[in-house]
Amino acid sequence: MDADRNIIQDSGKSTRRKWLRLKRDMKRYLPLYIIFSPIFFYYIILRYTPIFLQFPLALSKFKISDGIWGSPWVGIENFVRLFSSYNFQTVLINTVRLFGLTLLVGFLPPILLAIMLHDMRSRKIARVCQTVLYIPHFFSWIIVYGIAWALFATGAGAINGLLRFFDIPAVDFLTNPNTFIQLILGTGLWKGIGWGTIIYLASLSSIDTALYEAAIIDGAGPVQRVRYITFPQLKPIMVFVLTISMGGVLNVGGEHVLVFLTPATQSVGDVLTTWIYGRGIVRMDFSFATAAGLFQSVIGLIMVLSCNKLAKRYAGIGMW
């Protein structure tokens, strides 16, 4: 009994010490907490709250006049409508195909570009190249579409003007289903490749230069140094980027596809994000769109967890 009483007393003293330490630290770092509080409330109100509100909204028939909690409860009816929609299968196939092609086309170029920029002997030229490559990232998709229209439009486009100069028939790039995917992939790569190199350049700067010096002494050429030093050192960040990318398997496209999409390219270009926009915003079917968004989130979470598990098993590296 005395031993048990002593354990309880020691536990109580330990708890009190922890609370006193916590209060002391909170008082000490109060200015930092005040500075951080806007960011904290931003994420709570605008990021986490919508996540939890998805569930009641997706399981009800939302009416603006009744609000989320006052709208009639319909259970899984919105999900039944989602999976039984006549064009859901087509949209899902378009989404997965575009994601796969985007990952295939866009994963390796930023790595190779980062290696080339890192290996440039002239740092001034490297900085100029980085600046030029970063600029498209800050263009809105409307501006990107304007540039694409100036290049590929059937009537006034520069490319078709050049084709007509050589007596070659003009090609309808912007509204042709056969060229739509290539146009999306090309503009997406041009806009994002420079910004995608940043994380790899940061990782390359942390590699010990003694490894390259030793490899040069041993007679290793540039390709061998990249193969046996650079790529192994980049493997953790490559796994991280790939794992994070898998979360967007059903969230590809968005504004990018929306500004390029036309009725003629609807059959190959309509993806889940544009479909949700059409049903949720244009038709104001908010509950249906929320159910589709929740489906996207769940699949994305499953893909991230699965990819992380596979990476830990086969590459020995995981995000956690």
Same domain, 153 and 186: yes
Contact criterion met (CB below 8 Å) for 247 and 304: yes
Tell me how many domains the chain contains.
2
- State the pLDDT at residue 6: 53
Contact criterion met (CB below 8 Å) for 98 and 184: yes
Helix (H) or strand (E) holding 273: helix 272-277
What is the tens place of the pLDDT at every residue in 6-34?
Answer: 555 555 567 777 788 888 888 888 888 88
Same domain, 177 and 34: no
- Is this model's pTM higher than 0.85 or not? no
Confidence of residue 111 (pLDDT cuts 50, 70, 90): very high
- State the pLDDT at residue 147: 93
What is the tens place of the pLDDT at every residue in 64-97?
Answer: 888 888 889 988 999 999 999 888 999 999 999 9
Distance, in Å, from the CA atom of 287 to the CA atom of 71, rounded to the nearest integer, reads: 10
- State the pLDDT at residue 123: 83
Q: What CATH code is carried by the domain that includes residue 97?
A: 1.10.3720.10
Judge whether residue 246 has pLDDT over 70. yes
Same domain, 31 and 92: no
Q: Is residue 199 included in any domain, yes or no?
A: yes
DSSP designation for 93: H
Same domain, 123 and 44: no
Same domain, 52 and 94: no
Same domain, 278 and 245: yes
Domain that holds residue 42: 2-58
- State the pLDDT at residue 279: 83
- State the pLDDT at residue 12: 58
Main-chain dihedrals φ then ψ at residue 301, nearest 5 degrees: -65, -45
Same domain, 10 and 93: no
What is the average per-residue pLDDT within 201-211? 87
Name residue, tokens 């008082």.
Answer: 27
Same domain, 17 and 97: no
